[in-house]
Amino acid sequence: MRKTDFEVVETNVDHIVDLCGNLRKTDYEDLAMYTGQSADEALVEGYKYSKLCWTVLHKKEPICIFGVADQYNGNGCVWLLGTDKMKDVRISIIRESKFYVRKMLAPYKRIENWVYHKNELSIKWLKWCGFTIEEAKIAGVGKALFHHFYKENKEASWD
């Protein structure tokens, strides 16, 4: 991998504690509309249930956590929650994203989740990473418009 201005490490409980209460406003809003839980609750659950979970550190400070958890249907549920400080290293994060998407996809036939239709930056990033973005439809506890997105693992045999 190329040299970056951030470090990606396996997530630990201290990272969760550092990020709780410090996440982006959009993360709080999206999760409240979709699941009804706070982003802090989702962060704890994501860490607890994820098969793979990493933290991005910038200047030794956690700025986002992301991972993939098993779903009931055998697919992986990908997620990312971060602070506003992600913008300080966004270009570097974008450059490295495809590497981590491949790592999350490897154990699954498909990885997927939902994104709020007004979250334009996330949608643009998901498209860049090769996810298929479906037409927005009413979803979640808040009955708001969300896009289902997914990426299929075409490199593995699932017979």
The predicted pLDDT at position 4 comes to 62
The predicted pLDDT at position 149 comes to 98
Q: Are strands 76-82 and 110-116 parallel, antiparallel or unpaired?
A: parallel
Number of domains in the chain: 1
In a domain, 37, yes or no: yes
pLDDT in tens, 78-136: 999 999 998 888 777 888 889 999 999 999 999 999 999 999 989 999 999 999 999 99
Q: Are strands 137-139 and 144-152 parallel, antiparallel or unpaired?
A: antiparallel
In a domain, 21, yes or no: yes
Phi and psi torsions of 154, nearest 5°: -90, -5
Domain extent at residue 129: 7-152
In a domain, 121, yes or no: yes
pTM to 2 decimal places: 0.89
Residues in contact with 36: Cβ distance below 8 Å, sequence separation at least 6, in sequence order: 140, 141, 142
> Looking at residue 52, which CATH number applies to its domain?
3.40.630.30
In a domain, 157, yes or no: no
Say yes or no to pLDDT of 159 above 60.
no
The predicted pLDDT at position 3 comes to 52
Say yes or no to pLDDT of 72 above 60.
yes
113 burial class (0-12, 13-18, 19+ CB within 10 angstroms)? buried
Among candidates 53, 56, 57, 34, which has minimal Cα distance to 45? 53
